[in-house]
Amino acid sequence: MSHEDNPRRPQPPTGWRRVAFRLPIRLYRAGLGPLLGKRFLLLHHVGRTSGLARQVVLEVVSYDGEKDVWTVASGFGPKSDWYRNVRKRPDVAIQFGRRRVAVTAHFLSAAEGGDVMVDYARRHPRAARRLAQLMGFPTDGSEAAYRKIGEATPFVRLVS
């Protein structure tokens, strides 16, 4: 299954839902990013056509504190603006808690994405089920179902 194989993937939010999705950015700007814990980060990237600075808050799917490596997913698929921007310019920065770190984005293969999603589902079963639902994937909670979801979801590893 490739990243484009899921026709049920929801569209990014618009209107008041977009405002709600972007509220965590205001927390980071106000210096309150640590309130979101270690499950979220603020990605600083550059618009692929505009060249303007952009920001998005993403859930951290996994974090290796010894190596300073974060893994995030493009829940709205490969057409998400942040994902397309980072594909064009992979040298970005993140804010994680109070830290700002320069990182380089590495794009995981479908098989690696499957492994990441299975691991995430083991560690956070309720969150994994909600995430699958949000992304438009049916799941029975099995490892095979989460592997299939992970194979269809673009994952990005951010390495300092």
Q: Is residue 54 part of a domain?
A: yes
Q: What is the pLDDT of residues 95-153, one digit of tens each?
A: 998 889 999 999 999 999 999 999 999 999 999 998 888 888 888 999 999 999 999 99
The whole domain housing 151 covers: 15-159
Q: How many domains does the chain have?
A: 1
Q: Which of 92, 104, 98 is nearest to 43 (CA)?
A: 92
Residue 97 lies in a domain: yes
Q: Which of 123, 36, 40, 29 is nearest to 75 (CA)?
A: 40
Evaluate whether residue 3 is within a structural domain.
Answer: no
- Whether residue 48 is contained in a domain is answered as yes
Q: Are 56 and 25 in contact (CB under 8 A)?
A: yes
Q: Does residue 10 lie within any of the structural domains?
A: no
Task: Give the CATH number of the domain where residue 27 resides.
Answer: 2.30.110.10
Q: Is residue 99 part of a domain?
A: yes
pLDDT digits (tens, 9 = 90+) for 1-20: 444 444 456 666 666 565 56
Q: How far apart are CA 48 and CA 46, in angstroms?
A: 6
